[in-house]
Structures are given as C-alpha cells and as structure tokens.
Structure 1
Amino acid sequence: MKKPFLIVSIFFSIIIVTLLFPRKITHAIILDSTPNYTLIYTNNKIKKIKFKNSNLPKYTVADFKFNCFKVYHCQVATPSSNRILRKTSKKYELEHIGSINLSKNPSFYKIDENNNINIATSKDIIVGKNNVKSFFNKNELKTFVIYPMKDYSNIRVGISDNNFTSIYHKEIYLQFNSPGKIYNKTENIHLDIPKHYTIKFKFSKGKINIYFNENPVISKNRLYISGGNIKIANIKRGSPAFNPSFNGILELYPSEKGLIIINEVKVEEYLTKVVPSEMPVWGGIEALKCQAIAARTYAISDMLSNRYSTLGFHVDDSTKCQVYNNILPQNISNKAVRETAGIIMTYNSIPIDAKYYSTSCGTSVNYQDIWFKSDGSSDVKPYLKTNVFFNDNTTLPSTEQGWLKFYKNKDIDAYDKNSPYFRWNVSFDKKTLEDNLNYNLKQIKNNSPDYITLFKNNNSNKKLKRFPKKLKNLKNIQVLSRSDGGNIIEISFLFDNAIVNVKNDSFIRRSFKSTSPPKIYLQNEKFIDNWFTLPSSFFSIEVTEDYFTIYGGGYGHGVGMSQYGAMCLSKKNIDFKTILNTYYKDINFTMLYK
C-alpha cells in the first residue's frame, strides 16, 4: 500500500512545484489591463497573465516573473532611442553605441496611425529614422517597437566613386569651403577644420586613417563631417567635369570592402541636384515639376523599401536609383522643386513606384511586362499600365510583320517623335552576332539560369542540360512573346545545334552587347558607338542572308513617365498634374510634408 501512496505523493508534489515554479517573460508588451488580468504580447503571441490593475501605460515593455497564481515581479524595460544606422542579419549599428548583436529570436512590433499594434519584421525599420525604440536583453538587441514615421524630410544618399562604378572607396579627399568639424559618436574624436583645408581619409585594415596635421588619427567606427559646401576633391562628375560638393552631413564608415560615404541631406536639397541631372532644363518648367514630383516620390518609395539598409542609406547617387549631383543646380529646376515642395504621388495612400525613363517609342507597358520572376509572376502596380502616346489615330500592330513596320516608321505623330531615340537601328553581320551571343548567352545562363532555356537540335521539346561548347550557325531570331505595348518578353535564337530562349527586358537587351559594338543609328542621323545594351526591348528584327538588323524605338524600360514625352507636353503649356496623370493612372497628389 505504501508504493501507490508514494506515487500519488510524488505526483501531487510535481503539480504543486509546477504551479509555484517561477517563470520569466522577457520584453512583454502590455496591451490592456483589467481588475483580473493583464493582456500582453510575448514572443509575437497574445497571452493573459494574472497581474491585476497594472497601471502601466499601454505598450509599455516589461519583464515579468510569475507562477500560476500571480505575478510577483515586474520590471519596466528601458528603451534605447538611438537611430539604427545599418542593419545586417546578425548585427545592427546604433548611432551612439555602435554595432550590437541581434538576438537569435528578435521581436518586432509596429504601432500604426490609429494606435493599433501589429507584428512587424526587420523590413519595417527604416535606417536613420527616429521612430524606433530598441530594447536590450543581455547585451543583445531583443525587441523593437516601431512608431509611425513622421519625418520624411531627410534622405540618406550613398555616394559612388568616379563614373559611378562602385560605392566603395579606398581614399577620400574632402575640401572644406567653410569651417567644419569631424567627429565620432562612439570614440573620442573631435577635430575642428579650418576653411579651405583639405583632409585625406584612407581605408586601411578595416579602419579609417584621418590625415590631419602631422600624425594620422585612426577611427574604427563611423565619422560625421559637418560644414557647408564640402567638396570631394578626388571625385569627378558631369561634363564639363567638376568636383561635387555636399551640404547636410557627410558620414564615413569602414566596411569590409572599403569606405562608405553617406550624405544625409534634406530631400528638397537632394532634389535640386537630382532634377537637372535626370532631365534637361530646356524641357520647360512644367516638365521639371513632373520630374521633381516623380523623383521625390521615387526617393520616398526607395526609402520605405529598405533597399540599401545593409549599407545604411536609402538611395545611391547613380542610375540604380536616381542620378544625384551630376549636374550643378539650375535656377529653373530649383524653382520646379520649390513650387512642388513636399508633393508626392500616391495610390491607395501609399507612395507609388514612380518609374520613369528617357523616351517612349509611342507606347508604355505594364510594370509586370518588364519586371517579372522566371515563372512569369510579378508584383501588380495598377498605376503603371500599357498606354499609347500618339497625336494621330495610329493603332498598334497585331503581327510581327506589323511591329517591324511600326519600328521602321519615323513619321508616326507621337509625343516623343522629336527625340533622337524615338527610332533607331543597328545591324550585325552574322559572324559578329554569333560571337557576341556565344559569350553573352553563356553569361546569362551562368548568372541567371532561370531566365534562359536551351533546347536540343532544333527540337523545342528536348531541353539541353548543359550549355554547348559553341553555338553554331545562327539561322534565325524569333520573338516568342511580346507585350500589348510592344516590348519583347521572350526571344528565341535558333542555331544549328541548339535553340536558346531568353526572357526579361534586361537579359534580352544584354544578349546583343559587344566589346566592339556596331553603330546604333538614331533618327536624327547621329549614332552611338560605345554602348553596353540595346536602348530598349521595343524592337523587331529583319533577317537577310548575311545580316541581322534590329529596328527599335525608345530609350529605357518603357514603364511610367517618358521624360521626353513630358517635355513635349510641357512645351504645349500642359500643366504638371495633367502630364503626370497621362503617365501614372488613378493616382493622387499628396502633401507629405511642408
């Protein structure tokens, strides 16, 4: 009889210990409190705990110790309001603290404009903004509470080297055109720089050597440089060439590959150097207003996308985003920026992806006709639609022969008809094109295999597993798929020993690149002879015995606003809102800040 009693005693002892055993919750977020319990978020789940009348404000972050009967210890967690300047998968850099390890299971919460809280992700943290509270646990970043972002007026721009070839720098020479300062927020570095002084910064073994006076000052972490109109003396921009200068704050930090330069500047100041770099000022004030609003919207959209968060900036200064500081500010473009200050385009209250390009062929296409995954799926952006920009009753073709005729026709009365790139052509002799394709198609296959398909022996039912050692005897090029607006979505190269199908705007255009390219003849009887890709994927091919001639139209991807078309409409005294509504559908104009 003793043995069953012992088992029962042990069982009840385990239950009692379990009920009384103290447990801990780290970084619970208080959602609500009643006379009987407190509702909390913990590990991204909602939970009730027996904590009566906590009297702690909603969304307080706290640590709790409790058992099944009560909470017997509550410690409010202290937040850090440091800006997060850079994010990687394992570490975040905090402005006044430096690089901190991220917990293996961090929690992210986002409070919206209506004061509701939801589960968020790391992508919701915008680098360089003041709307995040971070919470530590054992020297690691564990919890983040993200508040609505109120300040969009500043932007962080990554500065490239000469010719915009790289974001990484080995040396930087800064010329101070007014008294300035170099300082560090995590080390004891503070240098006062006199006017007209040039400072050299050199990347060495993961650190920054600052050459000031006799001995270099060494910084392991991010430097801040202030002083109006700071010039980077070893970078050239524009034609005629000049050394770009910057207002706002310059930041300099050592990455694994070199020094990163970031210019944190007011968005409106940024636009004074973007608008003339992206659109010629002779296009007229209304076109420049269009460019200012599109560029502002594009910049804010890129900021919110966290595209460069691992590098610590929102946009770079090259064509990967928008060209910044390649043309000096101009009075008329400054006026366009000033008269549209704070205005962006939105769709369903969200900043649109304000794509724009140089010249249309007379049409634009849907977003998904250019940017799609290898399986054909794509984001849907309803405001970026197929459109036509004709002044006459021109209709779009329905056959390949019709498209060839369309791209040969220089007399179509379209908005962009006076652009040199409205129509263009380039001819390849068979041998040259075969050599180009052998190299280019193999590169595409190696780097982006999902966008290229190989078939065996002219048989489109049998796929090749490996790229042939050499593609032999190019016999024809056929368009397999074309959008309603005319760009090629998939193209087929037919050789004696293989068929190679390529899809996607970028890869189709790159298929034809050459180390010694033939001249691309423009419709104004000028030509370009040093090109990397075809001007657009809006083209048709005419095949003769010895030559493949491409007849095309437009310059750029063909989605959103044609800059040349906008300038044409501006010259007709059409206002900027009408012009933008021509290119972006069902949008609203929103004042983001004043």
Structure 2
Amino acid sequence: MKRVGFFYFEEKNNDCRRQRMMKVLIVIMMAGMWCMQPEKVSAADPVIRVLLTTTDFNSRYHQEITVSYDGKEITYTAEEVKKQGDKVRIPAQKDGIRILSIQRQSGTPVYDGSIEIIPKAEGLIIVNELFLEKYLTRVVPSEMPATYEKEALKAQAVCARTYAWKQIQEQRLHELEADVDDTVDFQVYGNMEPQKAATEAVRETEGQILCQNGEAVEAYYFSTSAGVTSTDEIWGSDEAAPYLRSVPCKFDEEEPWSSWIVELPWKMLEDRIREKGEGTVLRSVTVTRRSESGAATALEAVSDKGSCIIENEYEIRKFLAPVNCMITEKDGTETAGGSLLPSAYFELERTQNGNLQVRGKGYGHGVGMSQTGADKMAEQGYDYREILDYFFRNITVENLG
C-alpha cells in the first residue's frame, strides 16, 4: 500500500472546535482507507543461500579460503574462523567479494551479496547469500546461451526461478546452511558475467514461477531432446508428477546433439564392474527396461560372477560414461566424452573389435523443457508462456509474494 501522509494544523485552544476538526479528520481518514487501492508492487525477492564448491566443482569443503574485498586480502583456515566465533560473515560489497582460492572458467570469481565462511568437520564451507533475482542473472546465462531467442531465455528464467524457489522451500542442504550449491546437482552458478539478454529475460519475468494448484512445481529442464521428453519415472518415481508429461519434440531434431554415436572400450566397462565387486570378466551389457518414452531405466551387466542390474537414468549414464572417448554428433562434430553418457536414449551393439557401440539421441536427462527446443519454438513465434505450456501439463505462471 502507498504510505499516507498526514497534515497537522495549529488550533486555537477551543475544545469544541478541536472536537469538530477531529471528527472531520477521522471521517477523511476512514474514507481514505476505504478508497485506497493496493499499489502494483514488484514480486517479492527472497534471498537464496548458495554453497560454493572448490575449483572444478570437486568438493563442498575447502581447507583454506582467501578472499579480497575493500582493498583487503585475507586468508582463513578452520582454526582462525573458530577463534572468531561460529562463522565469519563478510557483508555485501559495492564491487563484490573476490574469492582468490577458487578458479572458475571465467577466472577468479567475484560474488554479489554476502559471504559466510563456516567451519565443519570436513573443512570450511562458503555460503554466498544474495537476492534470488540477482542470483538468476548469473544462473540463466550459465544454463542457456545468452544468444538464444528472448522468449526462450524468459522461459529459462521462469524455470530457473521456480527450481530455485522449490529448493529454498525443501531445504535439502539445511545441514550445510544453504539452499543449493553452484554445481549441476542443482543449477550451474558459474560466476559468469551477467549478459544483457539474459538479464532482461530475468527482469521481464521478475518473480514469476510455475505452479500447479498454487504450489511451485519441479521445473526441470535439459539441453536437447531425443525427439520426445521424459517424466520423472526415469529416476524411479512410482508415478509421474502430474505436471510432467512425455511430449514429442521435433523442434530440435536438426540440432547437433539430437543424435550421436560413441564407442566404449570393453575393458573400461570391465573395470567398472570390477570396481563394483561384481566380477572380473564382463560377458554382456543389455537394456532390460525402458520408460514409456524409450529412455533406458534398467541395464543388465552379466559377468563371471553373475548378473548385475543397474537402475535409474543417472546411474546408467554414469556406468556407460564415455570418459576419454570421442563422441560424434549428428553434424559430424567430435567431442570428448565426460563423466556421463549424453542421455539415456540409446541402443547398444557389440562391435567386431569387441567394444560397445552406443548410438544415442538427445543430451541431458530429458525431463521437462528442452532448451534447444525452446529456442527453436521461440524462432517460430511462440512466446515463453506457450513454450512452458507445451513442456509442462496444467501449470500456471504465478508471482512470488
């Protein structure tokens, strides 16, 4: 509501006159209260607490932390922090707070908001507390290229805000005094410089989240579809969330990651079976169960010790991770593989040289919104609400606060 100003008048010492004036003033005030309309205000902007991991996002625990702000450079160890109390809190600085002991792709990171350094048994943790909207200006360009169409960026901003708000509510990292961390386990907060297009997308959707029946949903998103999207059943849910649906997605069918092929050395897979304690000689690897949309949800690895069943989309992609293998994308581009198979949409075939050939489609878990699909939809004239409505079922876009 708008603040109401009050005028004060000097009165002669006349009780009757004062009483009459007070009555008039009360009537005016009451009329004003009835006539005042709520001012259109911006959406509430809660704070979010982000756990900052070490260089290369390897660990949540730091053995030593060096920060720079306001012309000072300070190094903290666990013992030094404990001497100062339960934690060290550095308030927000005009030019941000640099953490010299961390390196990111963009170099030494500089953080908006405050920084807390907290000692734990395993080492020190760093928590960056800042306003949610400010956080999103860094997350959106980290998760989606700022060169994408504006309506796609706006859809991404709504998804990212919804996901973050859901994590704030669920408090999964409560014991670490945070809401999320800065890795792909939550949303990438890589300290990338805000990009104009992404920042505008955040601003133009300020406070907007995806809801079903008034409750925030899990607004999942991923890179590129396999021609269809998945539900959360690929992670072992007994029943798909009512707002998640498997939909055909032909919008990104010409994208490089829409199909790919990679060859995995058989010995590498044998080593992984051995690490699991499931034998030493691998005889076969087959998909034994798929989701309704075709994603592998169970894999059987048969060894000299017997059968080992690997379940859950993530665990399957991890077991078949193409580490140090070259993946050939649809357009012929070759990319070095990492710690996860690009997606769980694939077919397996043993090659003549005894290795395992994987022919797959899509990039990412496949649940929720395809980011490249959203970009192509925006190119065709869809606005961000239409994009979100396509990938999610029976949802509404509502404002926080």
Show the counterpart of 1:383.
243
Deviation for aligned residue 1:530: 4.1
1:253 has 2:118 as partner: yes
> 1:360 maps to what in 2?
225
**Preserved CA contact (<8 Å) 2:235 2:314:** no
2-side partners of 1:347 and 1:260: how far apart? Answer: 35
**1:328-385 Cα deviation digits (max 9, x unpaired):** 10111110000000000011211100111111111111211x211xxxx536411111
| Residue in 1 that maps onto 2:187 | 322
* Structure 2 Cα separation of the partners of residues 388 and 315 of structure 1: 31
Partner of 1:458: none
Among all aligned residue pairs of Structure 1 and Structure 2, give the percentage whose two residues are the same amino acid. Answer: 33
Match of 1:173 in 2: 66
1:528 to 331, 335, 340: 335
After superposition, the Cα gap between the structure-2 partners of 1:496 and 1:442, relative to the gap in structure 1 and judged at 3 Å, is closer
Three-state SS of the structure 1 residue aligned to 2:155 is helix
- Give yes or no for the alignment of 1:310 onto 2:118: no
Distance 1:518 1:325, change over 3 A: closer
Partner of 1:438: 270
Contact in 1 for aligned 2:322/2:337 (Cα 8 Å): no
> 2:100 — aligned with what?
233
What CA distance in whole angstroms lies between the structure 2 residues aligned with 1:471 and 1:583? 43
CA 440–496 in structure 1, closer or farther in 2 if over 3 Å, else same: closer
Instruction: Rate the CA distance shift 1:495–1:264 in 2: closer, same or farther, 3 A.
Output: closer
Counterpart mapping for 1:261-300 below 5 A? 261-300=126-165
Equivalent residue letter for 1:532: S
Match of 1:198 in 2: 73
Q: 2 CA distance for matches of 1:586 and 1:442?
A: 46
Letter in 2 for 1:540: E
Q: Distance in 2 between matches of 1:529 and 1:319?
A: 19
**CA RMSD for the aligned pairs?**
2.0
Query: TM-score, with normalisation over the residues of structure 1?
Result: 0.57
Quick check: 1:162–1:236 contact (8 Å CA) kept in 2? Answer: yes
State which of 286, 289, 294 in structure 2 corresponds to 1:478. Answer: 286
| Among candidates 557, 563, 566, match of residue 374 of structure 2 | 566
For the residue of structure 2 that corresponds to 1:388, the secondary structure is coil
Structure-2 residue corresponding to 1:371: 235
Describe the superposition over 1:392-417 as per-residue Cα deviations: whole angstroms up to 9, x where unpaired.
Answer: xxxxxxxxxxxxxxxxxxxxxx2112
Q: Alignment partner of 2:258: what SS?
A: coil
Q: Which runs of 4+ in 1 moved over 6 A?
A: none
Larger-gyration structure (1/2): 1
Match of 1:164 in 2: 57
1:282 deviates by 1.0
Q: 2:306 aligns with which of 491, 498, 508?
A: 498
* 1:62-111 deviation per Cα after TM superposition (whole angstroms, max 9, x unaligned): xxxxxxxxxxxxxxxxxxxxxxxxxxxxxxxxxxxxxxxxxxxxxxxxxx
Instruction: Name the counterpart of 2:259.
Output: 423
Give SS of 2:393's match. Answer: coil
- Classify the secondary structure of the residue corresponding to 2:62: coil
d(CA) in 2 for partners of 1:199 and 1:559?
A: 43
Between Structure 1 and Structure 2, how many residues are aligned?
A: 356
The 5 A counterparts of 1:548-587 are: 548-587=356-395
Cα distance change of structure 1 residues 297 and 329 upon mapping to structure 2, 3 Å threshold: same
Q: Which structure 2 residue ranges, 5 or more long, are not aligned?
A: 1-42
Instruction: For 2:172 and 2:198, locate their aligned partners in 1 and report how far apart those are by CA, in whole Å.
Output: 27
Alpha-carbon deviations, 1:450-509, whole Å to 9, x = none?
xxxxxxxxxxxxxxxxx33x225x2x4332211121101112234566333322112211
Whether the 8 Å contact between 2:142 and 2:188 is mirrored in structure 1 is: yes
Offset at residue 319 of structure 1 (A): 0.7
Distance 1:162 1:381 in 2: 35
Aligned partners of 1:440 and 1:510 also within 8 Å: no
Distance in 1, matches of 2:312 and 2:190, equals 31
User: Which residue number corresponds to residue 331 of structure 1?
Assistant: 196
The one-letter amino acid of 1:284's match is E
Q: Deviations over 1:251-310 (max 9, x none)?
A: 111111111111111100000000001000111111110111000000011111111000
Q: 1:203·1:259 contact (CA, 8 Å) conserved in 2?
A: yes
Give the Cα separation in 1 of the matches to 2:186 and 2:133. Answer: 16
Structure 1's 524 and 532: CA in aligned 2 closer, same or farther, altered over 3 A?
Answer: same
Alignment of 1:18-417 (within 5 A): 153-176=46-69, 195-204=70-79, 207-208=80-81, 218-226=83-91, 227-228=93-94, 229-238=96-105, 241-368=106-233, 370-372=234-236, 377-378=237-238, 380-389=240-249, 414-417=250-253
TM-score, normalization by structure 2: 0.84
Which runs of 5 or more structure 1 residues have no equivalent in the other structure?
A: 1-149, 177-194, 210-217, 390-413, 447-466
Where relative contact order (Cα < 8 A, 6+ residues apart) is larger, the structure is 2
Q: Relative to structure 2, which stretch is displaced further, 304-313 or 529-538?
A: 529-538
